[in-house]
Amino acid sequence: MRDDMTAKKVTALEVYEKLQEMILSFELRPGSRVTETELADYFRVSRTPVREALQRLEQEGHLTIRSKQGCFIREIDIKELSDYYQVRIALEMAAVESACNHMPTKELEALAQQWRPSAQPKRVASETMKEKDEAFHMALAGGSGNRVLIKYLRDINHHIRIIRRVDFDHHERISRTYREHFEILQSLLQRDADKARFLVKRHILRSEKFAKTLTLTQLARKKSFAKRFDGV
Which of these ranges, 60-68, 115-123, 141-149, 197-205, lies near another protein under the rule CB under 8 A?
141-149
Query: Alpha-carbon Rg of the chain, whole angstroms?
Result: 20
CB 183 within 8 A of CB 122: no
Question: Residue 212: which region, alpha, beta or left (left: phi > 0; alpha: psi -120 to 50)?
Answer: alpha
Q: Does 194 bind another protein (CB under 8 A)?
A: no
Of 129, 122, 114, 121, nearest in space to 182 by CA: 114
The minimum distance between CB 148 and another protein, in angstroms, equals 4
The residues in 93-112 that bind another protein, with binding defined as CB under 8 A, are 94
- Interaction pattern, residues 65-84, with another protein; x per rule: CB under 8 A: ---------------x--xx
Crossing angle of helices 126-143 and 147-163, in 10° steps, is 160
- Interaction pattern, residues 153-182, with another protein; x per rule: CB under 8 A: --xx--x-----------------------
CB 89 within 8 A of CB 201: yes
The minimum distance between CB 136 and another protein, in angstroms, equals 20
The minimum distance between CB 140 and another protein, in angstroms, equals 14
How far is it, in rounded angstroms, from Cα 124 to Cα 83? Answer: 30
Binding site for another protein (CB under 8 A): 80, 83-84, 86-87, 89-91, 94, 146-149, 152, 155-156, 159
